[in-house]
């Protein structure tokens, strides 16, 4: 199990909510790529919780999108639980379809079925009903 707050990542895609600005174009994606590379080495990881579990919404975080490098986590074959609560992720239908790379995945926390992730939640319920989607863990 890894529970870690990953913060300080520039997110220019969230213009109005930017907490950290990029020092140069592409810096945020470069940092995310490095973080995904490190996380991707944890091949026996069963639970991954990223973000501030205290309840404060976080914008300077991993996007958790394929465009930002999520596919670098394809080696996490033992992953059962993903927790992205209180994070401004970009998890959409492409990302949850890709999560088929995690054959043991049974629970995702942090998708609320509203806004950006509504299609992703609907797709999971229709195509991978054994994966439990929870808005909150606590």
Predicted pLDDT at 56: 80
Pairing state between β 107-109 and 2-4 = unpaired
* Per-residue pLDDT band at 113 (split at 50, 70, 90): confident
Predicted pLDDT at 53: 67
Quote the tokens at residue 72: 């670098």
* Per-residue pLDDT band at 138 (split at 50, 70, 90): low
The DSSP bridge partners found for residue 2 are: 48
Give the contacts of 129 (CB within 8 A, at least 6 positions apart). none
* Mean pLDDT over each residue of the chain, to the nearest integer: 92
Predicted pLDDT at 94: 97
Q: Percentage of the chain with pLDDT > 70?
A: 96
Distance (Å, whole) CA 124 – CA 133:
8
Predicted pLDDT at 18: 73
| Fold category of 2-134 in CATH | 3.80.10
Cα–Cα nearest to 22, from 11, 33, 32, 35 = 11
Q: 71 near 37, Cβ under 8 Å?
A: no
Predicted pLDDT at 115: 74
pLDDT digits (tens, 9 = 90+) for 31-88: 999 999 999 999 999 999 997 766 688 899 999 999 999 999 999 999 999 999 989 9
Outline where DSSP puts E strands in the chain: 2-4, 47-50, 81-83, 107-109, 132-134
Our CA dihedral for 57, 58, 62, 67, rounded to 10 degrees, sits at: 70
Q: Percentage of the chain with pLDDT > 90?
A: 78
The number of beta carbons lying within 10 Å of the beta carbon of residue 102 is 22
């Amino acid at each position: 199990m890894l529970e870690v707050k990953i913060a300080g990542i520039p997110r220019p895609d969230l213009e109005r909510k930017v907490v950290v600005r990029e020092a140069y174009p592409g810096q945020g994606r470069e940092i995310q790529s490095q973080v995904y590379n490190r996380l991707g080495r944890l091949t026996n990881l069963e639970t991954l919780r990223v973000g501030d579990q205290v309840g404060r919404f976080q914008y300077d975080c991993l996007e958790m999108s394929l465009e930002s490098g999520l596919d670098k986590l394809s080696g996490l074959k033992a992953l059962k639980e993903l927790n992205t609560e209180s994070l401004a992720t970009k998890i959409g239908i492409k990302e949850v379809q890709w999560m088929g790379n995690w054959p043991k995945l049974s629970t995702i926390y942090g998708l609320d079925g509203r806004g950006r992730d509504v299609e992703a939640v609907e797709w999971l319920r229709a195509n991978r009903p054994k994966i439990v989607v929870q808005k909150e863990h606590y």
